[in-house]
Chain A
Amino acid sequence: MTKNIRYALILLAICGVAVFFLALTNSITAPVIEEMDHQNRLKALEAVSGGFEIGEQEVVDGQPYVTYRIDLSEGGNAAGWILGLKSAGYGGEMTLVASYTPDGVMQYAQLLGHSETPGLGKKAEESWYMEKFKNTGGQQPVPTSKAMLSADDAQAISGSSVTFTAIARAIAGGSDYVKSLGGAQ
């Protein structure tokens, strides 16, 4: 019996030391990680804002793709929206931010986080990728399948059509959401 107690104490001691070191490392790295996430988000918002003033963030519930919205304005006049979007990609969830004009035309978009196959879905991180969606959602529909792209563009995304569809659907969903807000606000 005393042997078992001794074993338990040894294990407990090892666990205790381990948790102490983990807590120590966490206290060093957690602020760095938080700061980095914050900076990345700010940078992404800045990049998609198109030079307009960025307003307050509001949580959006009950939408398949939209998680939050931020209003854009210029000199007090509404100039559009930034939407936080999420969509299911090849490996888990992808999050992105995209800006729209008040009538739902997509302006700029940027990927925030994803877990796509390195080398394939990764293309979505490059700037030319999102250019394919620019100015769509209004007169011109968002290209949600390869068939809606020019031959060159379709070739460029080959091997990552799932990522493409996921992003396209999120952007189209965002556009519909902006239209449902009724434009002027």
Chain B
Amino acid sequence: MKLNWNELTKGIFKENPVFIIVLGLCPVLGVSTQVSNAIGMSAGVLFVLLFSNLLISALRNFIPASIHIPAYIVIIASLVTITEMVMHAFVPAVYSALGVYLPLIVVNCIILGRAEAFAARNTVIDSILDAIGMSIGFALGLTLIAVIRELLGNGTITLFAMGGFDGVIRVPWFYNNPMRVMSLAPGALLLMGYLKAFFDWKGARKKEA
């Protein structure tokens, strides 16, 4: 059997959900104050997207077209709730940091969008590859924004505590000269604008070349 690798890679660059299609922005801007939150959010989205694509493509001949939206919503909401409960029990710090943005994965346009545009009319294998690619693309976008915001806004990079390491990397110079506004709401919007301009510019240059 030949895997269609294009389904995997397109989500990472060509159709990156964050910068190119600009989907699911609420969590991207909301939780990107800390790198650890961004990683937790990406893990949640990966889990939900993977299983929703898998289930929906497996059930695509079983679910009639006229009731597909409510059926998808039930499947996605259940997966999100499972993610919520598991995170609450086993990674409480991430759970409380993500707050309202965790249940809001339900209405994240990426998940329903991929279900409708891809999983509903492709095989299970392709849908899984699509989900993984899109999740990686989402994770890269979210983590990039989080790294820039946390570095400039707080001078730190927060990962997960392990052993003697408390999980917080304090970056010299930046730590003593934080630009607080980057951690706050306006910084997220401004940064998103500049990054989107950069990716649009790169896209346009590629087309001309």
Chain A residues with a Cβ under 8 A of chain B: 6-7, 10-11, 14-15, 18-19, 21-22, 25-26, 28-30, 32-33, 36, 91, 113, 115, 117-120, 159
* A14: B residues at CB distance < 8 A: 63, 71, 74-75
Q: Which residue of A lies closest to B86 (CB)?
A: A29
Within 8 A of A (CB), among B124-167: 150, 153-154
- Once bound together, how far apart are the Cα atoms of A81 and B186, in whole Å? 43
- With A25-B86, A120-B183 in contact, is A36–B92 under 8 Å at CB? yes
Interface of A is mostly: helix
Q: Give the top 6 A-B pairs by smallest Cβ distance, nearest first.
A: A29-B89, A18-B78, A32-B89, A29-B85, A118-B33, A25-B82
- Once bound together, how far apart are the Cα atoms of A33 and B154, in whole Å? 31
B196 to chain A, nearest CB (A): 24
Within 8 A of A (CB), among B61-94: 62-64, 66-67, 70-71, 74-75, 77-78, 81-82, 85-86, 88-90, 92
Contacts A/B (CB < 8 Å), 14 sampled: A10-B64, A10-B71, A11-B74, A15-B74, A18-B75, A25-B81, A25-B82, A28-B89, A29-B86, A36-B92, A115-B96, A115-B99, A118-B33, A119-B183
In this complex, how many residues of chain B approach chain A with their Cβ under 8 Å: the count is: 32
Q: Which of A10, A21, A33 contacts B82 (CB 8 A)?
A: A21
A-B contact count (CB 8 A): 69
Q: Is the CB of B82 within 8 A of A118?
A: no
Interface of B is mostly: helix
Q: Which residue of A lies closest to B32 (CB)?
A: A118
- Once bound together, how far apart are the Cα atoms of A113 and B63, in whole Å? 42
Is B57's CB within 8 Å of the partner chain A? no
Q: Is the CB of A119 within 8 A of B67?
A: no
